[in-house]
Structure 1
């Protein structure tokens, strides 16, 4: 049985030669831009003028092609996950400006062609339910802790209610915009390409920083200089997601050039994981190796190839990786307390924080202590001196949102997993999207696995992955296919 897509009878655009009027207006625009730049240069404002021209060109591109705006949001989320000159400050950020423009474009598009299909998406319903739970938990928290004070930690306020609420709202809006504008195959392929390029950019930064002694934990753990990869454990998580995509990208076309490119990238990603000395990263790599042996859809996993890569990786780990990193990786016993091995103190603190989060959940099981209140209440009510976040998404949801919050998040991932399984079984998935669909199950498993070691359920990568899954299912379900 094979699948052939039937041609659509409408919706295609007929290319017409440019008219003389269009060429004239283009010439006028170029002359105007040149005059503006020349005038600004005379006044000494050429940098400002160039910046305005670039911003104007970008905004014009987004207005004409809204999907480009979504791709820019993805890039900025991944590259500028922490405050930086690229991201901006406060509410005046590139992402917020792009989001406002895209919302206006979405409203205009829906006014012309009303199609609110995304309101039927189950993941959106669950996100909204989670938002309601957070609102209730915050109100209940204000009643339970009337004397709670806002205090400062080493770098910022301990109370993160407003920043985390803003993150939830803006990323929910991003999720809706993704569903609205990533509707064509080329847009989906571009989104995956942008995500892979942004994530692979952190690897050279991490390797160079490690070589110069600028890594995390005294310089012996690799970490990037920007993006969410500034944390070694999250850098390992990003590398694992990359490996899944690059592996199936290589397996879908076994040409020499593609194989050499993907093999080189995968080798650098595995090496980076080892240099992060992330124990969760190394365990996740073992889980990922197992998942890559599986054939998914029309893309074969390659069991023997995965075993060969795993053996080479073990050899590199035992012979090339520095002793400090290897010692930290080996120290994975969570019950070994009072030792002075590399990473033992980190393990003890994580266990203590999980126990504290569980105590908070037992005391406030229904709606928790409110979004962003973990460190503030841990310090003032439970007298925790370390001002630590939970470092565990399951414990975070239980402690800050209560049992309903965790159940809704699990339902969200269950719906997403079912969509991934549907894509795996669908004969309508185009051949050139097969490797993307094949990589989604390992990526989702890595997300759920790392959720036990990091607070990532409000992270952009979670919304990006879920948004791509839903957008892919929408595209595939709308294809007209002929079974031969």
Structure 2
């Protein structure tokens, strides 16, 4: 059985030549910009002027192509490192401006075609219910802990209620806007390209930092920006990329594509080992298993995966520095009192898990409130570490209660069902099949690393979910003929 996609009737509209009036207006605009830039240069405001011009040009392109705005939001979420003249301050940030413009465009589209289809999505319903649970939990926590104070740790305040609330709202807004404006095949290709470009940037940053001696703890690779400043999340993001590059190579194993993908994958595996992340090494094992599967019509390649795994183990035992290897080997959470590398971190993680479970048992319905775990751990349970849970399942139970946990599990279940539908659908375009195939291991890695990190409010979680949901809608609306 094969799929034939009917071609659209008629050709592409002819490109109209530029009129004399249009050329004149372009000339006036360029002359005005040049004059303003010259004036700003003489006044010492060159950097702010350039920043304003860049922002203006970008925002204008967003009005013309809203999908560009979604790609910019995605890039900023993943990199979070705009130059200061462009980044803005306070409420006047590029993300906020993009969000306002995209929201206006969303309202305008709804005025023309009143079909808010995304409001019928189960994922949106679940997200809204999670928000309601967080609101109730925050109200209940104010009554449960009337004397809870806002305190500071070594570097920042421990109370994360405001920050996490903002994260939840902005991520949900991004989710809805992305569903609305990521609707064409080229939008998905561009989204994956932007995602991989932003994520691959963390590799040279981590490797250069490691080579220059600027490593976390003196021996663990970490990037200088994004969430990859944490070595464990660096490993997670590297493995997300490996999944995409692997199926990108398997979809069309041409020599050039294979050479590019092998080089990138090798550097990503090497970076995972240099991060000395034990969850990262375990995640590699999970990833290698998932890469052996044929997904969405793209063969995984069992023998090739086994060969890569053997080479990776050989590199781990022969090339990786002894300090990193020693930390990776300390996987047993029940061995205490040793002075091996990473053993103290393991002990504190076990203590935090036990504390989080105790918090859930004490406040099972709505938890201690969004962002309150560290303050409650410090002031109520007198915990000497007052660390975040480092476990998304435990985070949901302790800060949101059993209802929050069940809703998140429901969210991931319905998303997994959408992913299964995608990978079985014959209507997926041939040039998108490798993306659909890679989303399977990505989703599996998300579930795996959720046991080792607080990532359910992280942008990468929302990006993976929105790509699955938006792709499912795109594929389900294609007109195909089965022959």
Task: Give TM class, smaller chain.
Answer: over 0.9
**Aligned residues of 2:292 and 2:301 also touching (Cα < 8 A):** yes
In the TM superposition, residue 13 of structure 1 has moved relative to its aligned partner by 5.6
Structure 1 residue ranges without an equivalent (≥5): none
1:92: Cα distance to partner? 3.3
The residue that corresponds to 1:62 in the other structure is 62
Contact 1:81 1:228 in 2 (8 A): no
The 3-state SS of whatever aligns with 1:168 is helix
Contact 1:82/1:228, CA 8 A, preserved across alignment: no
1:264-283 per-residue CA deviation (whole Å, 9 max, x = no partner) reads 00000000000000010000
- Give the distance between the partners of 1:125 and 1:232, measured in 2 at CA: 34
Contact 1:279 1:329 in 2 (8 A): yes
1:312 aligns with 2:311: yes
Q: Map 1:177-216; keep pairs closer than 5 Å.
A: 177-216=177-216
- The offset of 1:114, in angstroms, is 1.5
Counterpart residue number, 1:147:
147
Bigger mean CA offset, 347-356 vs 23-32: 23-32
Question: Given that residues 76 and 82 in structure 2 are in contact (C-alpha distance below 8 angstroms), is that contact kept between their aligned partners in structure 1?
Answer: no
Question: Per the alignment, in what secondary structure is the counterpart of residue 233 of structure 1?
Answer: helix
Residue 74 of structure 1 and its aligned partner are, at CA, apart by: 0.4
Question: Does 2:342 align with 1:343?
Answer: yes
Distance 2:11 2:69 in 1: 22
Distance 1:348 1:86 in 2: 43
1:36-73: CA deviation from partner (whole Å, max 9, x where unpaired): 22333333333332222211111111111111010000
Cα shift at 1:154 = 1.4
Is the 1:76–1:87 contact (alpha carbons within 8 Å) kept by the matching residues of 2?
no
CA deviations over 1:326-359 (Å, ceiling 9, x no partner): 0111110011111111101101100100000000
Give per-residue Cα distances to partners, 1:439-466, cap 9 Å, x unaligned.
Answer: 0110001001000000000000001110
Partner of 2:24: 24
Counterparts of 1:131 and 1:11, CA distance in 2? 47
CA 89–449 in structure 1, closer or farther in 2 if over 3 Å, else same:
farther
Confirm or deny: 8 A CA contact 2:207 2:221 kept in the other structure.
yes
8 Å Cα contact 1:83-1:89 kept in structure 2? no
Hey, what's the Cα distance between the residues in 1 that align with 2:29 and 2:83?
Answer: 36
In 1, Cα distance between the equivalents of 2:426 and 2:225? 40
Shift of the alpha carbon at 1:81? 7.7
Is the contact made by 1:398 and 1:406 (CA closer than 8 Å) also made in structure 2? yes
2:373–2:398: 8 Å Cα contact kept in structure 1?
yes
Length-normalised TM-score, structure 1: 0.97
How far 1:12 moved relative to its partner?
6.9
Distance 1:385 1:91, change over 3 A: farther
Is residue 239–residue 287 contact of structure 2 (8 Å, CA) maintained in 1? yes
Residues 379, 387 of structure 1: 8 Å contact kept: yes
> Where do 5+ consecutive residues of structure 2 fail to align?
none
Q: Distance in 2 between matches of 1:200 and 1:476?
A: 28
User: Which stretch has the larger CA shift, 26-35 or 316-325?
Assistant: 26-35
1:83 deviates by 12
Q: 1:284 to 1:95 in 2, by over 3 A?
A: same
Deviations, residues 289-317 of structure 1 (Å, cap 9, x unaligned): 01101111211100110011001001000
Aligned pairs for 1:233-244 (under 5 A) are 233-244=232-243
Given that 1:374 and 1:399 are in contact with CA atoms closer than 8 Å, whether structure 2 keeps it comes out as yes
Partner secondary structure for residue 265 of structure 1 = helix
Partner of residue 376, structure 1:
375
Distance between the aligned counterparts of 1:82 and 1:382, measured in 2?
Answer: 40
Q: 1:102 maps to what in 2?
A: 102
Structure-1 separation of matches of 2:268 and 2:172: 30
2:352 corresponds to which residue? 353
Q: TM-score, normalised by structure 2?
A: 0.97
